[in-house]
Structure 1
């Protein structure tokens, strides 16, 4: 293979005008390749060395080459390339060093600028992109809502692409980032086992806000078949399952049912909640959960999180007429 062929193969069939000329191709030969239909123009000065639709990686390479020196895939594009997000979206995101400016506007491409790009760029991946931890934090920084920021962090850890410790390390090296206090607190919660925005919400707005006992999150239980419990209270034989959309449809529904049935046979109670319960009515969930915990031996004191909260300590009298432990 010629140098030009090797370069095109490395770049998923895409090359820039400057690369083609540097590899020995003449201007006339380049124009002939375009006019004959052997090549196709993708962006100004960027060509595909084949006909037909471009695979996604080729589209990313074309955007990087058009953006020029130091450019890498970033944000949602890098997230898709690394398996963090299944949908690449309609726009390709690239980041270039902050000392450069890319003009004019590139169709279908959004250009970001970063001062620390040499440090955040992955040293080897193809197409070039930001490191996974930096990609997550880039997405957090542009997240319009706290829940979006939570989704990126929990998805990266849930898919085992990174760890809370690595994200915290990368976060510490950033001077400015949106949602920093929330992300710092969230990383501690993710390290304790919360693996989704739904689980984070249960931990914070149900469990902690109402003084309930701390559950064991993502507990692995081995038997004839390994099962995972979202939130387990082993001292009280109570399990809480939080049903997001993934893993709880089709075969997942039957797997959940078998797991719950086995738990009941073994003397465990199971409470099951979805997004509508945890996000819309966390206080109602807490009141229900507190009642079940008390019937199973918990002697703690649930507390209301606000004046309108339905969790109410109800003082009962013992046989001598003195105040005893409150019930929710």
Structure 2
């Protein structure tokens, strides 16, 4: 196997001009390969050793080779490579050591600079990229809205790419990051089982804000089929299912129906809410939950979260307390 064959295998068929010449190919042979159409120029000094469209990972390698030594895929590009998101975005994101100069304009590429790249780079993944925890925090830092930051943190844990404690460790090693206080608080909630922005919203704005009992989140229930309960108030035989888009369509929808039917047969009540409910009117959700929980034995007292909140206190027989 020649050096070029090794490069083709390791770098998705991409090579820099310096690598090609170091392998023994002459400048004239390189120019002929491009003129003949056997190879193609991807960026200045970077070549695809094949014709036709460049697959995504080849595009990433092209950007890394153009950015130079030490460059790694980062931000949304690294997120896509690791399965953290389903779309790669319109540009390739790469990060290079802060002490290096890189041409500021590379077509289709956004270059970031980092002082701690040696610590945040994954030791073995190919193409080279940041560790998933640092990818998440890079995306959090770039997020323009808290819900966007929440989405990256919860997606990473929901897809089982990392854990809250590992994210917390990576966060502690960063001196500056946007949304730090929010992320620190959120990691505690994610560790308790809130796996999406919808579930976080329910925990904070429905349950805690109105003094409802604390449910068990992401409770695994084994029977004829294994199922997961978003929020289970086991003592009161009440379950809350929070329906986001993922997992509640197609086969997931039928699994939900079977799970709800099994719960009903077993004497449990299931309340189901979506984004419009929990984000649009969390107080109404809390009022409904409070009524059901009280009817099933909860002796606590729900509270209003603000003036005009529809939540009412109930006595132990379910009557409204004036």
Q: Taking structure 1 as the reference length, what is the TM-score of the superposition? A: 0.95
Matched, 1:212 2:179: no
Residue 110 of structure 1 corresponds to which residue in structure 2? 110
In structure 2, what is the Cα distance between the partners aligned to 1:11 and 1:211? 56
Task: Note the C-alpha offset of 1:36.
Answer: 1.2
Contact 1:198–1:244, Cα closer than 8 Å, also in 2: yes
Residues 169-184 of structure 1 correspond to what in structure 2 (within 5 A)? 169-184=169-184
Shift in Å, 1:192? 0.3
Structure 1 residue 9, shift from structure 2 partner:
1.6
Partner of 1:257: 257
Write the mapping of 1:259-298 to structure 2, written as runs, cut at 5 A. Answer: 259-298=259-298
**1:294-313 equivalences in 2 (<5 Å):** 294-313=294-313
Q: Secondary structure at the match of 2:273?
A: strand
User: Does structure 2 retain, via aligned residues, the 8 Å contact 1:242–1:274?
Assistant: yes
Q: Which residue of 2 aligns with 1:321?
A: none
Report the count of equivalent residues.
322
Query: Does the 8 Å contact 1:72/1:130 carry over to 2?
Result: yes
Where in structure 2 are there 5+ consecutive unaligned residues? none
Counterparts of 1:130 and 1:326 in 2: how far apart (Å)?
55
Contact 2:140 2:178 in 1 (8 A): yes
**Structure 2: distance between partners of 1:41 and 1:119:** 32
Structure 1 residue 313 displacement after superposition: 2.6
Return 5+ residue gaps in structure 1 as ranges. Answer: 319-323
Alpha-carbon distance between aligned partners in 2 of 1:125 and 1:37, rounded to the nearest angstrom: 31
Would you say 1:236 and 2:236 are equivalent positions?
Answer: yes
1:24 CA displacement? 1.5
1:17 alignment partner in structure 2? 17
Alpha-carbon distance in structure 2 between the residues aligned to 1:168 and 1:251: 34
Q: Deviation digits for residues 185-240 of structure 1, max 9, x if unmatched?
A: 00000000001000000000000000000000000111111111000000000000
Say yes or no: does 1:61 pair with 2:61.
Answer: yes
Q: Is the 8 A contact 2:301 2:314 kept in 1?
A: no
SS of corresponding position for 2:230: strand
Runs of at least 4 residues of structure 1 off by over 3 A?
Answer: 324-328
Instruction: Give secondary structure in 2 for the equivalent of 1:151.
Output: helix
Q: Give 1:45's aligned residue.
A: 45
Equivalent position of 2:151 in the other structure: 151
Secondary structure at 2:211's aligned position in 1?
coil
Does the Cα contact within 8 Å between 2:294 and 2:314 map onto a contact in 1?
no
8 Å contact kept, 1:78–1:129? yes
For the Cα contact (< 8 Å) 2:104–2:111, is it kept in 1?
no
Q: For 1:233 and 1:312, how far apart are their aligned partners in 2?
A: 20
- State the shift of 1:327 in Å: 4.9
Alignment match, 1:222? 222
SS at match of 1:310: coil
* Maintained 8 Å contact 1:301/1:326: no
**C-alpha separation between the residues in 1 aligned to 2:97 and 2:270?**
53
